[in-house]
Structure 1
């Protein structure tokens, strides 16, 4: 039976929250966090685990290079384009229902990809994965938001969620290496099925339904505009890897900007907006979204090109490369609980300003790599600093981006957080590929690129990502304005009717 979602005022005075009946008490809420964490891990793992499997899949299915690239692009297109619509569906249709359907659909799409016998079948499966992930990801974050409406428990819960978001990609590299090396590439997709079964079995008795009340009409013009606009942007950035002057790059990026501008105009006038402008109008929340774009871009660049360096220059196997990426994840996991404690002491503004600078320092250290250098001297220190810096950002970011959101907007606001990170990843892939290509062209000799030229390209990617992170620091300093006491209030035990 669904619950009423008439907003109640939380103890810390941050604004409307979901009713107490949607926020389970005691151990039950931590079990809910475990279920949501499984869903988040599945979505985050999928990006890097599939990347590791691509070379083997291409050979097995006789795919062209264009099809191999499309395996990544079609997922990003479906996921990025449908996120805001998925968030609103979760708000109106029900967050528990959307979570379960999204998880089940993602598992079925993964199974289809895991048994694919052709490139076309794999591409179709990846598109379906992206579509269901666009429903699952905002529903999961919205469930977390209404389960932990305020206070210190909310900070701890989002610390766990942020840790998975920051470190899950590196875990995907390891798991992808293990599955590809010892089983087959098929299992890099099939592994999602048992995870989903466990998550759904736990979600059905644990999660309580919650949905928006009042006007629940869908904003069809807004949905069409934002879906087409985000799809155009993601596709335009994906094509920019081949050159920023290409007609399709310029056309789709320009079209995306025009469509999103039209979306904003429509949303500011309609009474049942897909993305209410009140969600974006808050300066602090807008600053969090901007930081999410930059950090998402830098993280993609760091992981992708560091993996290239490990495998292509240093000759590591996929498994070895994945294991070599783990120190960053370990640093995030160790730092995140400490950051959660600091959040109520120093506030998010300081943490989100210092974090990008620490992460940028780590990337600059990684920018000193050489062909004959050692992992311990040239990579490990930078990875550890990068992990610490990301934890300083990720833990407060999720809290700040969803703080004070009205109960009816929890799903779409959660989708906006994920969408900014997705767009950041697309921008990062395109920009860093362009940087790498430009440096490689200048550093290559008449016989083509040698290892030294490749390393020079990777090093400049790390430096470019560091510059982007440095730019995020003043954004956080001048835009993030939240009283630290809002993260220390103790919630009263919810009354379950």
Structure 2
């Protein structure tokens, strides 16, 4: 659901360092040597579509996966969170790798890793292999996404041409995030849940082989690698995730949980120290002196925690409480996907007429309202009168919120930091989604064993127990949305009117 289309490459502080291709006088706005820019755009869009399709495609298949591999409900969030955490934790590092070793080359490496990990996930016979494969998918995606967007921005170098290309890019990547839930339902009900992973393999293989024939090669400014910083950030996030998941089963006072929380805090604190001292940090913390950027990222963190939590728990609520099939569940999301696009379109027009903060606040109020309604939805709810209205409210609120947050993340950012700012907002999206699900699941599943045991195998009582669990998950999502609203109201400065294209 998140709009991942706004991650730019980081622009060099000194333009003479860049080896990006110059504008070809024979093709205005297109880099020299590029003869088929439309094919380049199609190739990059497909690669990006795969990356963000896999953020959401697993949600509808979760009950099928759990049944096939014997995964306990409390461990199911790992299927979602491992992908998002590794992707978010490695995005900025992936951008540096692409600049150093070549964008096309790193795109090929990322596609190869992603394809191999998808194959491993598809053939997994136990949860351990599936979890490792999902993490490796995230690593591959963290190499694909920044390399693909950097290639796009160095191919379409004229303002008009770049705006058009980014418009196509943004539309496709936005669609991918919401189309995943529908496609996940179609595949799960058809050839089976394993095909949500297998479908990536031939596409990734073809892309690896075709890349040299389609894409130009380019590099960015050479800088030192902050490998240690990347390891500390990703390690800290993964350890925090593990602590949250363990807290579901063992409680917050468990020794393992407390140790993991301490280790996570130490790793993340170490990341801050390393970044402040590194010659070429992944995250120059001086950029957070810009107040609008700082709080736009914080609000985005909470909002995406809400978005991914909705997908996670709604998919299970529809199937395990309302009795929908995977296909019916996937199709149930179609109106939500459509109104997200409608909301984003409305927001793009409104931000040119009124301050973006007003649009954002309205959007977040709608999201909070929708989550409160989901947290109170009865187990007998019909689709037309119960689920659909709430989904429409959710989608329009999300669409209205995404656009002003993207604008706010760039307000006051100097040209040489524009790529960093865009990378940070995308990192906030991925990390927020992963941590949001983990925290919501920790809260919602804390009583799952107790409630299931109390049901004594009675179908009606089991359905009631599941309803209670999922209501708690939606309540946690409402808390995240409320936190985003409070940040927007109290901390976020006014977002000025924006009359330019809403692009990277």
Whether the 8 Å contact between 2:244 and 2:442 is mirrored in structure 1 is no
- Closer, same or farther: CA 291–52 of 1 in aligned 2, 3 Å: same
Q: 1:74 to 1:470 in 2, by over 3 A?
A: closer
1:405-439 residue CA offsets vs partner (Å, 9 max, x unmatched): 655873x5554333322322233223322432457
In terms of mean alpha carbon deviation, does 464-473 or 398-407 score higher?
A: 398-407
Match in the other structure for 1:419: 427
Unaligned runs of 5+ in 2: 1-10
Mapped to 1, the partners of 2:12 and 2:56 lie a distance apart of 40
Please tell me whether residue 396 in structure 1 is matched to residue 408 in structure 2.
no
CA distance in 2, matches of 1:28, 1:70: 41
How far does the alpha carbon of each residue in 1:347-377 deviate from its partner, in whole angstroms, 9 at most, with x for none? 4333222221122222223333112221111
Partners of 2:166 and 2:354 lie apart in 1 by: 17
Q: 1:333 aligns with which of 328, 341, 350?
A: 341
* Counterpart-to-counterpart distance in 1, 2:158 and 2:408: 11
Candidates 231, 242, 256, aligned match of 1:235: 242
Q: What is the alpha-carbon distance in structure 1 between the residues aligned to residue 266 and residue 14 of structure 2?
A: 39
Residue 475 of structure 2 corresponds to which residue in structure 1? Answer: 463
Matches within 5 A, 1:463-482: 463-477=475-489, 478-482=491-495
Shift of 1:121: 4.7
Q: Which residue of 2 aligns with 1:13?
A: none
Q: Does residue 24 of the first structure (1) align with residue 51 of the second (2)?
A: no
User: What is the CA–CA distance in structure 1 between the aligned matches of 2:396 and 2:161, rounded to whole Å?
Assistant: 22
For residue 276 of structure 1, report the CA deviation from its aligned partner. 1.7
Q: Does 1:174 align with 2:182?
A: yes
TM-score of the superposition, structure 1-length normalised? Answer: 0.80
User: What aligned pairs does 1:244-263 form with structure 2 within 5 A after superposition?
Assistant: 244-263=252-271
Change (3 A) 1:120 1:224: closer
Residue 87 of structure 1 deviates from its aligned partner by: 2.8
The alignment partner of 1:223 has SS state of helix
> Which residue, out of 367, 382, 395, partners 1:359?
367
TM superposition shift of 1:315: 0.9
SS state at 2:351 partner: helix
Residue pair 1:86, 1:138 contacting (<8 A) in 2 also: yes
Distance 1:452 1:230, change over 3 A: closer
**Aligned residue pairs, count:** 479
* TM-fit CA distance, 1:320: 0.8
Residues 425 and 279 of structure 1: is their aligned pair in 2 closer, same or farther, counting only changes over 3 Å? Answer: same
How many angstroms apart in 2 are the aligned matches of 1:364 and 1:218?
Answer: 45
Contact 1:293–1:421 (Cα < 8 Å) also in 2: yes
Match of 2:3?
none
Asked if the contact 2:77/2:441 (under 8 Å) is kept, the reply is no
**Deviation, structure 1 residue 134:** 1.9
Matches within 5 A, 1:7-46: 21=23, 24=30, 34-46=42-54
Would the aligned equivalents of 1:151 and 1:486 in 2 still touch at CA under 8 Å? no
Instruction: Sort the Cα spacing of 1:354 and 1:91 in 2 relative to 1 into closer, same or farther, 3 A.
Output: farther
For residues 285 and 201 of structure 2, the distance between their equivalents in structure 1, rounded to whole angstroms, comes to: 37
Question: C-alpha distance in 2, partners of 1:392/1:157?
Answer: 22
